[in-house]
Amino acid sequence: MRILNVIISGFPFSCSSKQKNPAFDETMIQIISENPICLKNTGTLPLYASCNFFVRGGNGKILLLEPKDLEEIYYEDYSFLNYKRFVRKALNQNLIIKTKNKGIVFELDKKVTDIYRNTDFSDFLKIYCVNSQEINKFWLKSNIQDEQLFSIFYYFFINNYLTEFDDYMGNYYLSGTSNYSNRAA
């Protein structure tokens, strides 16, 4: 009887979140691993070069990185792994990266996290974004508090959306990874 109580009492915790994070876009992982920024001699950068990447940092925090920073971390600390495997593990949040001199370390905003956990992703998207005229591209709403930005970007990232800043419009936008992989193919 005691075993049954443990199983039943643990059940609500396992079902408390509506969100299931999809795996990071495998085509995008392929593109990233075949087009390293640091080794490029062509004078042109890959389409994803100005996007924000998010990985797990130490102590339950998140690390925001530019793609070149992720590559440098690989070459400095993880070159014992195959680069594609490293990218897959890091972008799927299956690797804890501890670094003191790269990226921005932050904690997830509690309010944003609660909204993410308690809504479907399509509703989460509607709360924080407005549609653009392009397929699978959204503009971030302008009324968002600064301390929530990185958390919102993180939750979009783990759902296969990359964040960029449009200098001309002066606003952030989010594009599905398929937009990048289709243009790179």
In sequence order, which residues have a C-beta less than 8 Å from that of residue 44 and are 6 or more positions away?
Answer: none
- What pLDDT is attached to residue 16? 41
- 3-state DSSP assignment of residue 173: strand
How many other C-beta atoms lie within 10 A of the C-beta of residue 62?
21
Write out pLDDT tens, residues 122-151: 999 999 998 887 778 898 998 898 899 999
Single out the residue of 110, 182, 108 nearest to residue 150, CA to CA.
Answer: 108
Pair 61, 100: CB distance under 8 Å: no
- What pLDDT is attached to residue 135? 76
Torsion of CA 38, 40, 45, 49, to 10 degrees: -30
Write out pLDDT tens, residues 36-89: 787 655 567 777 888 999 999 999 999 999 999 999 999 999 999 999 999 999
**Segment holding 166, helix H or strand E:** strand 161-166
- Flag the least confident range among 1-5, 67-71, 145-149, 159-163: 1-5
Residue boundaries of the structural domains of the chain: 24-38+47-184
Q: How sure is the predictor about 1, in pLDDT bands with cuts at 50, 70 and 90? A: very low
What is the Cα–Cα distance from 26 to 30, expressed in whole angstroms?
6
- 3-state DSSP assignment of residue 55: strand
